[in-house]
């Protein structure tokens, strides 16, 4: 039978299925159920600086000089919930537990990272989810921001640090190279932004495309295939569009060590994890692979030689005769 063990960001996983940060991973009970269903690891519900800041910011100045104390108390209380989640998950489960933090100020990145490590997290996933919309934007400053955050966090933690990147980067490969040079253990491609829509009847905003769909996988495969060829020292995970075992197969062939899944579990339940693993194992047996390592990166950008289907130059070859 095929062996599904893998290593991502220096962490040994029994299989490549990681449940991504979401409401699926916001309690120890849910995480235990995911482990029982066969998950290889979990990324905990994110610590959001904005949310904690908003909660503490509700404290009004009483004029008695106590507002700073109360804000600190509310902040500490909010963080304690995340600390408890890490501890309870580690006590009740044997699979790796990855803490996720999402901040915007340097001090909080560092502070939150240290707190999550002390709580017992096996690794950290840093999530810088932001759009650059200022007309005065300095080219490259957003990428430098990623590297600066990583460097600051690495000064205070020893556990592996993973960066989950957004899909709005001009060159994810160059950034991945810089992250590796500054101590990142892994990169996840890609995060998903809030998708706004407009209700034309009421002229209000709505959210659309909450769940990912399999069509999103193609973009992840493209960049994983290129990045894993150009920066092979770094571990990669694919996030977005993995809705079955074939999605795992494609991701590993492109060079990923693991995948992060969420939407498909919401849509089909925890049992889909076992189905995905069974499909992956069946494909491996059919093609004679005993381990993921035997076909990891087999179809990344290095494997294609002079014909690179992942870059624009092949557009005319594939579509020039379309409709003839």
- Condensed to tens digits (0 to 9), the pLDDT of residues 204-258 reads 998 888 899 999 999 999 999 999 999 999 999 999 999 999 999 999 999 999 9
Residue-wise over 12-22: b if at least 16 C-beta within 10 A, else e?
A: ebbbbbbbbbb
- Condensed to tens digits (0 to 9), the pLDDT of residues 128-144 reads 877 777 888 888 999 99
User: Which class for 266: exposed (0-12), middle (13-18), buried (19 or more C-beta within 10 A)?
Assistant: middle
Q: Where are the domains of the chain?
A: 6-319
Q: 6-319 maps to which CATH number?
A: 3.20.20.70
* pLDDT at residue 1 greater than cutoff 90: no
d(C-alpha 236, C-alpha 252), whole Å: 9
φ/ψ of 144, rounded to 5, equals: -65, -35
3-state class percentages of the chain: helix first, strand second, coil last, to nearest 5: 45, 15, 35
> CB under 8 Å, gap of 24 or more: what pairs does 246-250 form?
246/279, 246/283, 247/214, 247/217, 247/276, 248/16, 248/17, 248/276, 248/279, 248/280, 249/280, 249/283, 250/217, 250/221
φ/ψ of 37, rounded to 5, equals: -80, -10
- Condensed to tens digits (0 to 9), the pLDDT of residues 3-40 reads 999 999 999 999 999 999 999 999 999 999 999 999 99
d(C-alpha 311, C-alpha 137), whole Å: 27
- Condensed to tens digits (0 to 9), the pLDDT of residues 94-130 reads 999 999 998 655 657 788 899 999 999 999 999 987 7
pLDDT of residue 278: 98
């Amino acid at each position: 039978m095929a062996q599904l063990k893998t290593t991502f960001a220096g962490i040994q996983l029994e299989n490549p299925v990681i449940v991504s940060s979401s409401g699926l991973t916001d309690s120890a009970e849910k995480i235990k159920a995911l482990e029982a269903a066969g998950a290889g690891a979990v990324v905990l519900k994110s610590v959001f600086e904005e949310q904690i800041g908003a909660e503490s910011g509700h404290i009004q100045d009483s004029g008695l000089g106590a507002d700073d104390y109360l804000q600190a108390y509310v902040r500490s209380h909010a963080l304690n919930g995340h600390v408890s989640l890490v501890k309870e998950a580690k006590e009740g489960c044997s699979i790796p537990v990855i803490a996720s933090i999402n901040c915007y100020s340097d001090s909080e990145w560092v502070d939150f990272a240290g707190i999550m490590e002390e709580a017992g997290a096996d690794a950290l996933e840093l999530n810088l989810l932001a759009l650059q919309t200022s007309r005065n934007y300095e080219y490259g400053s957003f990428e430098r921001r990623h590297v600066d955050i990583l460097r600051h966090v690495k000064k205070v933690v020893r556990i592996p640090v993973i960066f989950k990147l957004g899909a709005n980067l001009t060159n994810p490969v160059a950034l991945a190279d810089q992250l590796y040079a500054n101590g990142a253990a892994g990169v996840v491609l890609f995060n998903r932004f809030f998708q706004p829509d407009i209700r034309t009847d009421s002229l209000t905003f709505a959210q659309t495309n909450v769940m990912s769909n399999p069509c999103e996988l193609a973009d992840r495969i493209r960049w994983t295939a290129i990045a894993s060829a150009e920066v092979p020292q770094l571990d990669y995970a694919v996030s977005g569009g993995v809705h079955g075992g074939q999605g795992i197969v494609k991701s590993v062939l492109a060079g990923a060590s693991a995948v992060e899944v969420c939407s498909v579990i919401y849509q089909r339940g925890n049992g889909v994890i076992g189905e995905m693993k069974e499909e992956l194992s069946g494909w491996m047996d059919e093609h004679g692979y005993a381990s993921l390592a035997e076909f990891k990166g087999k179809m990344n950008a290095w494997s294609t030689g002079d014909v690179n289907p992942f870059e624009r130059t092949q557009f005319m070859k594939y579509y020039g005769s379309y409709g003839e």
